[in-house]
Chains A and B, each alone.
Chain A
Amino acid sequence: MNDTPLVIGGQTFRSRLLVGTGKYRSNAEMVAAIAASGADVVTVAVRRVDLDRTKEEGMLYHLDPKQYFLLANTAGCYTADEAIRYARLGREAGFNEFIKLEVIGDKETLLPDAEGLLEATRVLVKEGFQVMAYTNDDLITALRLQDAGAAAVMPLASPIGSGLGLVNPYAIRTIKRRLTVPVLVDAGVGTASDACLTMEQGVDGILMNTAIAEAADAAAMGRAMGLAVEAGRLAYLAGRMPRREVAVPSSPTRGMLA
């Protein structure tokens, strides 16, 4: 079965799995896990250079921007102004106009601040950014972000780093059904079945980090996630059988021995 490619803000991507680069035990493990996942979009954060250890930690020393599409994020920002500042720095550091926009509203849950997100999206869109907005699973916020010019809307499956999986499939399906821009689920996936189930809702892709980085074997989980995203996508396109409350035999009921 043929699928259309994932296109966001006019840019075509190979994989429907997007991965983060945080929390890996080593850079070598990160590079291996990302390669195994098949992802071509990888997210990165913008932070101060550690002046006492100048040679080293920058992601550009480990990930070739010709091989991967580096998507800068505004993780850790709690106001629209802060997120806008980080987005501008990310654009300058990077190689494209795309930004994964996060405006966090609460330290404990890391749930998004809808008001700040909308404000930052409007400003950044005016400045020519392709905004991929991390948001909650609320339809109205998703619609407002689309109206504000977001290139993609990215509702959570469950809180960042929680690994709780897809807690509200109905909300995600509703957002996907009502939006015309790509809908990617960002955050909360814990294992391959979560990724598969999420893709079966019909969303355009998934962004994840911790589920791969914190797996005992990150490269194996990277591969599992790549397969799960593909399997879930294919199952969605294939169209699942109806659910029934009664059994229906798979073998003929006629022709049984007397």
Chain B
Amino acid sequence: MSDLRLIVNGELRNLPGPAKVTDLLTHLGLDPRMVVVEVNREIVRRPRLPEVDLKDGDMVELVHFVGGG
């Protein structure tokens, strides 16, 4: 058990490992239905969020819909 160092939306974040993508969302207080996750530029589809492992050094992007034209 050691902390994973992740780059989440461009910021360094530590997460207790081992962890799945869902664990990161829970850790950040995000509702998985409201966000889309990219890990190392690959989209992780919603049903796979509880299955995909996060690794030390992973680049994670968490995006959602905001106001736009």
A: residues with CB less than 8 A from B are 20-24, 30, 43-49, 51, 54-55, 57-61, 70, 72-73, 75, 85, 88-90, 92-94, 160-161, 187, 207-210
B: residues with CB less than 8 A from A are 8-11, 13, 28-30, 33-36, 38, 41, 43, 45-46, 61-69
Is the Cβ of B64 less than 8 Å from the Cβ of A72? no
Report chain A residues within 8 Å CB of B63.
46-49, 89, 93
Is the Cβ of A89 less than 8 Å from the Cβ of B8? no
How many angstroms from the CA of A51 to the CA of B8 in the assembled complex? 9
CB distance from B45 to the nearest CB of A (A): 7
Per DSSP, chain A at the interface is mixed
Set A22, A61, A90: member contacting B69, Cβ < 8 A: A22
Report chain B residues within 8 Å CB of A209.
68-69
Is the Cβ of A59 less than 8 Å from the Cβ of B66? yes
Is the Cβ of B68 less than 8 Å from the Cβ of A20? yes
How many angstroms from the CA of A89 to the CA of B43 in the assembled complex? 7
Report chain A residues within 8 Å CB of B66.
44-47, 57-59
A-B contact pairs, 13 of them (CB 8 A): A44-B66, A46-B65, A46-B66, A48-B62, A49-B30, A49-B64, A51-B11, A51-B62, A54-B28, A60-B64, A72-B65, A92-B46, A208-B69
Identify the closest chain A residue to B10 (Cβ): A48
How many angstroms from the CA of A73 to the CA of B63 in the assembled complex? 13
Is the Cβ of B36 less than 8 Å from the Cβ of A93? yes
Is the Cβ of A43 less than 8 Å from the Cβ of B62? no
Identify the closest chain A residue to B9 (Cβ): A48
Identify the closest chain B residue to A92 (Cβ): B36
Contact A60/B34 with A22-B68, A51-B8 known, Cβ cut-off 8 Å: yes
Contact A43/B64 with A60-B34, A89-B38, A93-B36 known, Cβ cut-off 8 Å: no
Is the Cβ of B65 less than 8 Å from the Cβ of A49? no
Identify the closest chain B residue to A94 (Cβ): B65
Contact A21/B68 with A46-B63, A51-B8 known, Cβ cut-off 8 Å: yes
Is the Cβ of A55 less than 8 Å from the Cβ of B67? no
Q: Which of A20, A48, A209 has the most B CB atoms < 10 Å from its CB?
A: A48
